[in-house]
Amino acid sequence: MSEYDIYLLGSFIFACLGCISLFSGAVDGRLSTSGIVSVLLATGMGYFAYDLSPNGFEASDIPNAFIKLFAMLLN
Question: Nearest CA to 1 among 47, 52, 57, 59?
Answer: 52
Predicted confidence (pLDDT) at residue 1 exceeds the cutoff of 90: no
Q: What's the confidence (pLDDT) of residue 12? A: 93
Q: What's the confidence (pLDDT) of residue 56? A: 78
Residues 6+ apart with CB under 8 A from 39: 14, 15, 18, 19, 22
Predicted confidence (pLDDT) at residue 4 exceeds the cutoff of 90: no
pTM, entire model: 0.83
Q: What's the confidence (pLDDT) of residue 58? A: 81
Interval 20-69: pLDDT, tens: 999 999 999 898 899 999 999 999 999 998 888 878 778 888 899 899 98
